Amino acid sequence: MNVKNLFSEFNSKKILVIGDSMIDAYLFGEINRTSPEAPVPVVETKKHEMRLGGAANVALNLKSLGATPILCSAIGDDKEGKLFIELMKKENLITEGVIISKIKRTTLKTRVIANNKHQLRIDEEDSSPIDNEIELIDLIQKLIYNIDVVVLQDYNKGVLTSNVINEVIKIANNNNIPSIVDPKNDNFFNYKNCTIFKPNLAEIKIGMNINNELRNLKDLNKVTTKLRQQLNSDAVLLTLSSRGICLDSHNNFYQFPSYKRKLVDVSGAGDTVISVAALCLSTNINYSNLTILSNLAGGLVCEALGVIPINKEKFLNEAIKTLKNE
């Protein structure tokens, strides 16, 4: 496989990203003392940043890799929603697929980073189902034209209702467009007939009601095969945190360990994994190389603090070295 040609091929891909979006706010500062009011540290703020998060971070990763992402999501009719659109425009992302909910607020996650460490996260959100399912589904019907892959990014914030999920997968399959899912447990078994289902270890243990740590290949193979069959999906791509990644398909089972890195922050790694897997799914590469590249990308973004999209050039250089040694 020519890795450079593969990465060049990403530039022609058009990916529809459907799911829960949010704003990731960051307070960067220093801790030099303890509060006299309570035994808690005092953070002296030095910098404040607002970034796109959730499904919008998947869109940013895809854009960083050269593809054209179209985000389909719902935000609130509030100041955070207006800021969200401003941030999208600043990043040159297409805003056509974002609808306004009159009953939901825009999700805001604030991370407090002090002394180069993630100290605290504050979530302001509304996880109730969206009130305009039909509007979203109609919009997806219009935007599906010339799409290479559909990504469903579920954060349990109400965009991906069971009805939206069923309709989206049906639309994708009717148009012969592959779909890849990053689930949460509320809708775990609603993604039937998707192409690739990508849970993490915690999610599959809860979803499949498993009490052991799935530390041997036999157990991993058994549970991923069972899940794949239950969902009638083509493959299950399971991220294993520090233990790497595995993929179960109709014909094969692959497991690859994580690469040695200096881990700084795992936030957003799943967004990067599904972005790379989606782009690989849009090409003709095999599931083994798809799994290797997804694993490599997920580790790369953990070397930086906060949720950030992957650097394509750095990823390409590592991919060339890695696949040469496989």
CB-CB contact of 34 with 42 (8 Å): yes
CB-CB contact of 19 with 159 (8 Å): yes
Residue type, 89: K
Q: Would residue 66 be called left, alpha or beta, if left means φ above 0 and alpha means ψ between -120 and 50 degrees?
A: left
DSSP 200: B
- Asked about 148 being catalytic, the answer comes back as no
Q: How many CA atoms lie within 13 A of 177 on its CB side?
A: 27
Please give the Cα distance from 140 to 137 (Å, whole number).
Answer: 5
The sign one gets for the Cα dihedral 293, 298, 304, 307 is positive
Please give the Cα distance from 167 to 269 (Å, whole number).
Answer: 28
78 φ, ψ (degrees, to nearest 5): -145, 180
Catalytic residue among 20, 24, 234, 271: 271
CB proximity list for 284: less than 8 A, separation 6 or greater = none
Q: Mind telling me the catalytic residues?
A: 271
